[in-house]
Structures are given as C-alpha cells and as structure tokens.
Structure 1
Amino acid sequence: MNIIKKKVLSIFESRVLKQGCVLEVRAWNPATFFEIDLHLPGVDMDKWTSVQHMKVKVSEYTYRDYTPALWDAETETCTLCIDSAHSGPGSDWVKGLKRGDTISYVGIGSTFHKPVADSKLLCLGDSSSIGHFLALKQLALGIGEVYGAISFDTESHAREFSEYFDTYLQPIKENKRDVSLVSWLNEQDLSNETIYIAGHIPTAMQLRTHLKLRNDFNGSIKLQGFWH
C-alpha cells in the first residue's frame, strides 16, 4: 500500500473507528471456531430489525465483517461467532484475542436478512453462518420459528453446536463427495418457505439453483455470501 493511501486511511480511521471490549473468548475443540463476547458502549441494539454486520479491524488497514448475535440491549453486549478454519488476517486476529482486549470497528449496519411474518423460516449454511442464523432466530422471536441445517467440516464442532445452542437448526457433517445441504434438502418437503442461505458463496449459489429446480417450492430465497 502506498504512502498516500495509508495517510488517507489513517485519517478515515481516526474519524470513524469505534471501540469495544472483549469480555470473554471461548474456543471450540479443535480451536478453529471461536465465540467472542463483546461490550459495545453506545450501540442501540433495540433498533436492530434485521441481521447486522460489524466491520472489524483485524490488522493494519484490514477489515472483516462479522455478525453480532445473542445480544442484550440493556448491557450493550453481544457475541461474535467466528470460523477461523481458513487462513487469513481474520483468522489470525481471532486466534490472538483474549479477555480485556480492545477491538476496533468502523460501524454496524443492516443486511437484507430479516424475519418474514406468516412464513416458515428455513436456514441453510456452513459453520461460518452460525452467528448469522442465531441473530435471525433472536429477531424472529414472536414472529416465526427458525429451522434448517448447518454443515460442519468437523464432527466435534457439530456436537458442540448442539450442546451449546437451543435451536431447530440441525448440524450435519459435510461430505466432501457431495454437498450435504443439498442431500438434506432432498429429504425435506417444501412449499412456501422463506429460505435464508448464508456462508460459502459457491455452495450458496448451488443451493439456490437446486431450490429453483424444485417443483414443490414456491417460496422466496434470500442469499448472503460470506467467502469464496
């Protein structure tokens, strides 16, 4: 990065960066998935009506988007669920976090995923979508029930998901010879569901194509890709 661009970014960061405090870090076994509890002073979580994304600074002039989930508006706290199985600045950052650290972020904004009333809310994604779907579940309280499937590369992570979170989201082990989420879908009777797809972009596109070929499905599809 050239000097001029660095200077512009430094000015931008000095004006817009906000800070939060790490309250707790929980690593799953193996330590390629983390839950990060944060205190975010001044954030009005009562205004959230759709799943949010938080642009977090993970290294010099480098940002990654994460989903605040399991929030408590009164205490201004939330949890980030971060899959670090793929190498990169975000994975390096989360592996180095500890209680008491300060995190910096540009802001928190809305995604297009929000609960739809009078519709079944079916979610499909990989482990990078956990926080996203937990946020949707929290928003859907009193509106509808979130259910679906999440695929995991690691069997122990699938077990931990079931133990830690009370949801109707079914953890399934990813089969490298097949797209397990497509196999799961083939066993489901569909009608007019609102289907939320999140996570690995090529898999998300494949799931959308598969759904559009289903003669029994006449609902809507909402896609949010995270990584390639």
Structure 2
Amino acid sequence: MSAPANAPGRSALLLGIALGGFFDGIVLHQILQWHHLLSGLERVRDLRLQLLADGMFHALMYLLALAGLVGLWRARGAWDEPGAGRVLGSAALLGFGGWHVLDALLSHWLLGLHRVRMDVADPLAWDLGWLAAFGLVPLALALWWRRRPPPPKGGGAGRRGAAALGLAALLAGPLAALPADTDQVLVVFAPGTRGARAFDALARLDARVLWARDGVWALQMDQPRQAWGLLADGALLVGRGPLAGCLGATRFAPR
C-alpha cells in the first residue's frame, strides 16, 4: 500500500519542528546557556525542576524526531516523485521556522516561560532578533521554495532531501544530549537528602564542591568515574558523559 501523497511533507514538517527544538536546546540551553525552559517563572526556583523541564522538552523533541523519521521511511515510495525534494525541503523549513514563531509567541510573550536572554536589560530586542533570524526567514524561504514549479522528473532530489533530513535528525539528537563541560561532575540529590549524608559521600570520594544549589552539586574529582557511586548515597542523577545534557551544561555561581 503506497503512502499518501502528502506523507513525506508531514514527516518533514515534524522533523523540522524537532530540529528547531534541538537547535534551541543545543545553542541556547547548552552552548550559550542563556536560559532554561522555565527560567522566566519566579515560582519555579528549584534547579531540579528546571532541569526536569529541560529534560521533558528534549524528550518531546526526540519523540517528534522519531515520528518524523518513521513517517519519512514509510513514505519512501514517494521520494522519486517530481517535486519531492521541494516538498521535503519547504516542509522542513516550515517546521523549523514555525517552531521558533510559536516559541516566541507562547513561551516568550504570552506564557512568559523564558526569554531568549534572561540576563539583559532589554530582552525584547533579543527575542525579536531571534524570531526574525530563525523564525521569519525560514518561513519566507519555505513559502518561496514551495511556490517554485516542480521539475518534470524527480531527478533524485527527493532521495537526497530525505537523506539530508534523516542525517540531520540523527546528528542533532545525540548533540542535544552532550554536556557542554565534561570537566565537572554534576550530581542531583533526591529531595530530603540531608547535607551531612551528601558531604560524607563526597568526602569518601575526595570530591571538591565547586557550587551547590537546590540539591544540585557541581564537583571536581581526580577520578570522575567514581562519581557513579553517589547513586547509592541519595543521588538521583550523575551528570557526566554523553547523557548529561542540560545537567552537564548548567552553570551557576555559588550562593
């Protein structure tokens, strides 16, 4: 049974949305470290909740990317149709730009979950610049590309477009899980873990505390692999290695 004619476009749209989310997570959360997902909510001050929200956001992007990849593969029979490359490319740009427009309208302005930059006097200027560069420009390119007449023959553009989208999603997913700084070990202790118990566990491992906040501890250790032993002393998560994600990218001054 052949896939519907618009199935590749729907799958590319999902992949574009997921790539937009991964892009924000990698650039804003991890590399630039300008905000967490819920940085704008004063009532959410617990760093563990901030990290949990970031993790749920990335999990949603992984689900969207998986759905897009599965749908794209199931619609592979349409890759060689005339105009398939244009449909895939414009739909991916539509999803990428649409994500940033929706994020600006809902997360930045209506709900106030966060702003692009939380540490500046005029966050609106950064919001507008980010929206224009990564929201409006991709949308304009998507509309322009969609209006172009399709070639008389497929010419392999659909297969190349599908391969490029699949590769981008497969690369962006692991990159979104990489920590920004692997020299530190970050540990999330369970709520209610007494400070004395945590300090005793850290002393046994000869760990130096760089900062601690809301049950999240940044450590420096001569043998970082030993940090996994903290899981037996009330730790919920040890943030080191390729699965640390936003935990490994968290940077706060001690207070």
Provide the TM-score with structure 1 as the length reference.
0.26
Relative contact order (C-alpha < 8 Å, sep 6+): which is higher?
2
Please say which structure displays the higher CA radius of gyration: 2
Which structure has greater helix proportion? 2
Which structure has greater strand proportion? 1
